[in-house]
Amino acid sequence: MTDRRQDDPQRIGPGYSFRARLTAGVIAGSVVPLAGFGLVLVGAEIARRGTLDSTLGGIIVFALAVAVILAVLFAYFLAGNLARPLRAIAQAVERVSGGDLSARVEVAGEDELAQLVESHNRLASDLARRNAELGRILVAIGETSPRDGLDRLISRATANARTAFAMIDSAIHLGDPEWVMVEEVVPGESRPVRAVLALPDERVGVLVGHLPATRRWDAADQDLLELYASEVAVAIRNAELFEQVQQQTRRLEALDAAKDDFLRGISHNLQTPLTSIRAYAEQLEGERPDDRLLIITEQSERLSRMVRQLLAASRLEASTLRPRLEVVALAPRVRKAWEALGSSGVPFELDDQAPGWLAVADPDQLDQVLWAILDNAVKYGRGTPITATIRPDVDAGRLALTIADGGPGVAPEDRDRLFERFGRGSADQHPEGTGIGLYVSRELCRAMGGSLELAATPGGGGAAFTIELPAESPAASEA
């Protein structure tokens, strides 16, 4: 024997429509008694005379035919009258299912049909109320923000619970829900309700409140309250995480500010002794030439440039670096920067395809950019020839300087972070660098109205950096 499933529809009556069964019942109720009475008359007539009078038989058949016709007409009008409120109920149900929760039906009396109408009206009212509650819940959830802070969030969530569920009072208690006593429902008094603020891995608290004694509260209402409580729990967790992130951000900002202060201080404090070392080394070399003094001079100059990079980085972060723009010849600047680098063992070629063009830049900042890019090419080019090509962009009025080496190039995973502050390549084999040369160079180029980009290299070999700067054409310079 199979068990009936709870979600199977319950079948009411035989497999005929209500109108057909009503018509058949009215006809049967009208014709059967008359037919029985006719049979009694026929039997009595046959018993008395021994035969049936044809006149009496015709009268009986005529009476049965009239009774059937009248019964059918009566059943039709009766079925229509009884089906009219049922059609009204069906239309109201369709409207409710379509979203019109204001659909109501009125039927006089207290019979089963009136009870059906009352059930429909009550269901529509409950749906309208829960729909309004759900709307208020969605509005309340949309108003929550982790930036409000935990205390303000709890206060707002408590007030929204009272409004959404028409509570007399409500409160949110954080911690183990078991710590909050469960109140019993006492007939005639305000009804206590509660919902646990639950997350998938933790219960963060409980929402409790009281409803008016006349307020209906069933499983669907409890489901809505628990849904709201779960959203409040998520909002509380988000607020806690946001506060942790804010605290970590403030600590990082403080550490970053302290680091910038340190860099500014150390940069200023290193410049003076480095200048003295370089000056005395140059003086001694002039009095008594010595290769060691030349190395001291070159390395002190190199360290001085690194210090200037650190100082420029801190000034860029503080937005205090302002370029003093002048018109300068780019090719001599490139040649001078290469000579100052002191890498005579590396082949270098300068191809100036823009004779007469002048770049608009800050000379000191331009020298710093050129030294950083050339030094980068020497370090990562691994002794391969370095080429510097200057090309004009006549339409844009700009000069483009591309410095390329024949080294291994830049790995694809390093291209995006190459210009980041303190960014270094994943395969970096030169740990003596500061990791800010390209960052400072790009920002200096931008401050001068130009740009610095990692250019594509033919065949994928080596690295090429292109510096673009505003420029004046030979015709503009002569004018």
pLDDT in tens, 18-53: 667 666 776 777 667 767 767 776 777 677 776 766
Which has the minimum average pLDDT: 283-292, 405-414, 429-438?
429-438
Q: Which two tokens stand for residue 79?
A: 């079925």
Q: 202-234 burial string, b = 16+ CB within 10 Å, else e? A: eebbbbbbbbeeebeeeeebeebbbebbbbbbb
Q: Chain-centre distance of CA 11, in angstroms?
A: 49
Taking residues 423-448, what's their average pLDDT?
68
Q: Work out the end-to-end distance of the chain between its first and last CA atoms, rounded to an integer number of angstroms.
A: 108
Q: How far apart are CA 58 and CA 146, in angstroms?
A: 94
Q: How far apart are CA 165 and CA 161, in angstroms?
A: 6
The amino acid at residue 350 is: L
Taking residues 238-251, what's their average pLDDT?
88
pLDDT at 183 over 80: yes
Burial class (CB in 10 A: 0-12, 13-18, 19+), 313: buried
This prediction has a pTM of: 0.46
Q: How far apart are CA 203 and CA 357, in angstroms?
A: 72
Helix (H, G, I), strand (E, B) or coil at 165: helix
The pLDDT tens digits for 393-430 are 988 889 999 999 888 877 777 777 777 766 555 544 44
Nearest residue to 260 via CA among 338, 318, 326, 341: 318
Nearest residue to 240 via CA among 149, 152, 173: 149
Q: How far apart are CA 201 and CA 195, in angstroms?
A: 16
Q: pLDDT higher for 150 or 51?
A: 150
Q: How far apart are CA 443 and CA 439, in angstroms?
A: 6
Supply angle C-alpha 241, 243, 247, rounded to 5. 115
Q: How far apart are CA 446 and CA 455, in angstroms?
A: 17
Per-range mean pLDDT, top range of 94-108, 176-190, 449-463:
176-190
Q: Which two tokens stand for residue 275?
A: 């200048």
